[in-house]
Amino acid sequence: MRKINTRNFVRATRGTAREINRRIVLNLVKEHQPISRADLARRMRIGRGMVTSLVAELLADGSIYEGSTAHAPRGRKPMMLFVRTHDRLAVAVDVRFSRTYLMLSDFSGRPIALDEFETIPDPIALVAGLARRIQRLLKARDAKSKVNGVGLVVPGMVDATSGRILNAPQLGWRDVDVRAALEKATNLPVHIENAPIACALAQMWLGDGDTETPRDFVYLTVGDGVGTGVVVNGEVVRGHDNTAGEFGHVPLNPNGPQCLCGARGCLEAYASNLATLSRYLGQEFSPTETRRLLQESGITILDVIARARDGERRAIDAVEETAGRLGEGLAIVINALNPSRIYVGGEITELWEQIEPAMRRKIRERALTVKAAETPLVPEPASSYPRLRGATAIVAAPVYAAPQVA
Ligand SMILES: [Zn+2]
């Protein structure tokens, strides 16, 4: 049950019911494709005529397309319906502390082209560099006319309405607007989102027919920072002023290492890739010092992961300490929200068999019930580009989401 907000609402119009039904059809096609009109009518418990007319509208606006399937039994093959994703494209951008990644992909999240460069900390210079690379990517693939927009994810809090970046500690950005400038430079609509929230949206909207994505879950990203995207009852939790779900900055130890947010001992300061790397290099964690060290040593988190896999003791210790800290953080998440599942994204998942036991141990120590201690942890491999898929999802998701009414 949701209370109607009488100070800020969207009034239902004559077309609202039809719009909702159209989105239901679109989502059913997405989850069950290929699907026939008869099957849709059965699932929606409405008449064939109504389905036919809703389908006609979706065919006309290009959201779905019609084709036959090879698997039909003898006799007349029914025309099956599919969601049109292959020629609807998005430019996905993942801005991180160290590097910025670009991907041209279709609406299902399938990568078409990739690019990357060292992150430029100045937002104006970053936008200029990004725009150039986006234009080049689109030109090389002759894709400009098929692109629906740019999705940009950042390690920080974003105002959902204005797209302003409120605070991105890793980038040192406070109340920064890059949307207008990037829209002007690319002539494309630009959507901006907090990276872990975008990863959660990708789980909801880009799933390959996975109808089992739960309505209550948390997505934990472990990158240069640590963040969480929280979904409750099928909706992302943003809080009153867009700072909800910042579990990366819960303190594990008030006297711990300095975090980029200004506080000490945050989960992020213990468990980010930078923290793992500085531990490996035998340094007390300090983000700026670690950045300098990394540039000089040329070591990346992937090197540490490879060395841990090869059995190098120092690498294994660095990674297992991170896993334990992540477990402590996840125990807090579990006790606060009791999600049905926690997805974990980031390079460190490459060592899942090594890190899961250490995470589980900490969760078991702190979870309040046996069931809570058993909350499933689901790794998402770095090879599937979770953050870039997230950036794609913020362009594609509005097409599938329920219309906001009341
Ligand atoms: Zn912090």
Question: For the chain, which domains are there?
Answer: 16-83 (1.10.10.10), 89-202+388-398 (3.30.420.40), 208-386 (3.30.420.40)
The rounded percent of the chain whose pLDDT value lies above 70 is 95
* Span from the CA of 313 to the centroid of ligand 1 (angstroms): 28
Q: Give the Å distance between the CA of 263 and the centre of ligand 1.
A: 5
Distance 327 CA to ligand 1 centre (A): 17
Banded model confidence at residue 267, pLDDT cuts 50, 70, 90: very high
Separation of CA 262 and ligand 1 centre (Å)? 6
How far does residue 160's CA lie from ligand 1's centre (Å)?
22
- Using 50, 70 and 90 to split pLDDT, how confident is the model at 75? low
Q: How far is the CA of 228 from the centre of ligand 1 (A)?
A: 13
**Listed residue (301, 302, 308) closest to 274, CA to CA:** 301
Mean pLDDT (whole number) for 132-159: 93
CA–centroid distance, residue 11 to ligand 1 (Å): 40
Q: Which of 78-82, 208-212, 250-254, 292-296 has the highest mean pLDDT?
A: 250-254
Distance 403 CA to ligand 1 centre (A): 35
Residue 117 above 70 pLDDT?
yes
- Ligand 1 centroid to residue 248 C-alpha, Å: 7
Residues 144, 134 contacting (CB under 8 angstroms): no
Residue 379: count of CB within 10 angstroms of its CB:
18
Residue 250 Cα to ligand 1 middle (Å):
7
pLDDT at 16: 85
Residue 275 pLDDT > 70, yes or no? Answer: yes
Interval between CA 274 and ligand 1 midpoint (Å) = 13
- Whole-number Å distance, alpha carbon 254 to ligand 1 midpoint, is 11
Read off the tokens for 43: 């699932």
The encoded tokens of residue 301 equal 């988190």
Find the 266 Cα to ligand 1 centroid distance in Å. Answer: 5
Output the pLDDT for position 210. Answer: 55
CA of 249 to the centre of ligand 1 (A): 4
Distance from residue 224's CA to the centre of ligand 1 (Å): 12
Q: Are 271 and 277 in contact (CB under 8 A)?
A: no
Ligand 1 center from residue 229 Cα (angstroms)? 16
Give percent of the chain with pLDDT exceeding 90: 66
Higher pLDDT, 283 or 166: 166
Rounded to the nearest angstrom, the distance between the alpha carbon of 170 and the centre of ligand 1 is 10
Report residue 71's pLDDT band, with 50, 70 and 90 as the boundaries. low
Interval 341-354 mean pLDDT: 95
Q: How far is the CA of 216 from the centre of ligand 1 (A)?
A: 25
CA 347 – ligand 1 centroid, Å: 20
pLDDT for the residue numbered 339: 97
3-state secondary structure 284-338: CCCHHHHHHHHHHHCCCHHHHHHHHHCCCHHHHHHHHHHHHHHHHHHHHHHHHHC
Mean pLDDT across the stretch 63-72? 78
pLDDT band for position 8 (cuts 50, 70, 90) = confident
What pLDDT was estimated at residue 251?
A: 96
> What pLDDT does residue 74 have?
65
61 vs 189, more confident: 189
Q: What pLDDT, on the 0 to 100 scale, is given for residue 323?
A: 98
Provide the pLDDT for residue 355.
96
Say what the pLDDT of residue 27 is. 87
Q: Which of 10-24, 66-80, 273-287 has the lowest mean pLDDT?
A: 66-80
183 CA from centroid of ligand 1 (Å): 31
pLDDT digits (tens, 9 = 90+) for 184-227: 999 999 999 999 999 999 998 886 555 567 889 999 999 989 99
3-state secondary structure of 340: coil
Band of residue 76 on the pLDDT scale cut at 50, 70, 90: low
Q: Average of pLDDT values for 68-96?
A: 82
55 pLDDT more than 70: yes
pLDDT at 291 over 80: no
